[in-house]
Amino acid sequence: MSVAATDRRHLLGLEGLPRGEILSLLEAAEGLQDAASGRSDARDRLAGRVIANLFFEDSTRTRNSFNIAAIRLGADTIDLTGRGSSVSKGESVLDTALTIEAMGVDALVVRSSDAGAPAMIADAVECSVINAGDGCHEHPTQGLIDLLSLQQRWKDFSGRRIGIVGDIAASRVARSNVHGFTTMGADVVLVGPPTLTPASFEKIAAGPGRVTVSHDLDAILPEIDAIMMLRVQFERHSPGAIADDYRARYGLTRERFSQLRSDAVVLHPGPMNRGLEIDAEVADDPQRSLILRQVANGVAVRMAVLTRCLSRR
Ligand code: CP
């Protein structure tokens, strides 16, 4: 039996998550900003709960901000990675999840290179499961972070046009953001080389925002309110799959940055290949790069998600 997107015990993706649920998570995250940065105390919220981070794939931002979010909410955490656990002896991801659940944890935060692994685990366990990125499928908390970072600038998404540029085919962030942005009413244009930007992406969102695909980055720059650059995920492609002229055609160079509207903002979920998909001067722009704001928002968003999933039913 598969878990419904509206089952508040889990967060497996942004696909099918209603606008009202997204708004409520963004509002909760905004209200938790002080607690996320330690300026107020929210440790009574999840005191006595135990959250297990099961990261079968590497991470800096997601894993550590889930940890900090849990600490800020008063929960205890355990950390398990593929290396150093019995996964290295061949134990399956599902057996690992069932084993950790049997120790009495309240939530499993799961990152895996296999699309669908968190949903498979959610079908098998009683505790909460949160998708921290599964293969090329979804990265819902990153999608919420990106929504919050833009909402702090704009207040409203309707009438906005957002470019997502680069390695779309391999990007779980792109998938979650297509669902999140279009549900909130923004239009999305996906830009990249034909091999990395499948036309099938135009059909994955339910709206009300629209999704289009383009292979001409220069043409869309003057039309967009925000541009999200994606990391070229060399580890998910065969050698030679990324053309040598990638930066020349799809990199957000200083020259291209100057072609954007003067109030357009720049996002990147990280980690970045500086000098490939984005120039350092653009990534570090103090006014219009939201990249470190995205990272900072990660703690508050994950606090909101943990609170929602672990609220006593
Ligand atoms: N954005 C993101 O998921 O980064 P990490 O891989 O470092 O967690």
Residue 134 alpha carbon to ligand 1 centre in Å: 12
Residue 293 alpha carbon to ligand 1 centre in Å: 14
- Percent with pLDDT over 70 in the chain: 99
Name the pTM for this structure: 0.97
- What average pLDDT score do residues 241-266 get? 95
Strand stretches in the chain, DSSP E:
50-55, 76-81, 107-112, 128-134, 161-165, 187-191, 211-214, 226-229, 265-267
Q: Domain segments of the chain: what residues?
A: 3-137+295-311, 140-290
- What average pLDDT score do residues 212-240 get? 93
Q: Is the pLDDT of residue 234 over 90?
A: no
Superfamily, domain 3-137+295-311? Aspartate/ornithine carbamoyltransferase (3.40.50.1370)
- Which of 81, 142, 144 to probe ligand 1 with, by most ligand atoms within 8 A of CB? 142
- Determine the pLDDT at residue 198: 87
Report pLDDT digits (tens) over 70-87.
999 999 999 999 888 999
Give 5 or 176, the one with higher predicted confidence.
176
| CATH 3.40.50.1370, domain 140-290, yes or no | yes
- Which of 55, 62, 172 to probe ligand 1 with, by most ligand atoms within 8 A of CB? 62
Q: What is the mean pLDDT of the chain?
A: 95
- Percent with pLDDT over 90 in the chain: 87
Strand stretches in 39-186, DSSP E:
50-55, 76-81, 107-112, 128-134, 161-165
Residue 166 alpha carbon to ligand 1 centre in Å: 16
Give nearest CA residue, ligand 1 atom 4.
61
Q: Is the peptide bond before 208 cis (omega within 30 degrees of 0)?
A: yes
Domains 3-137+295-311 and 140-290 share a fold: yes
Report pLDDT digits (tens) over 198-222.
888 888 888 899 999 999 999 999 9
Report pLDDT digits (tens) over 38-80.
999 999 999 999 999 999 999 999 999 999 999 999 999 999 9
Q: Which atom of ligand 1 is nearest to the CA of 139?
A: 3
Q: Is the pLDDT of residue 313 over 60?
A: no
What phi, psi does 227 have (nearest 5°)? -130, 125
- Determine the pLDDT at residue 1: 59
- What average pLDDT score do residues 90-104 get? 97
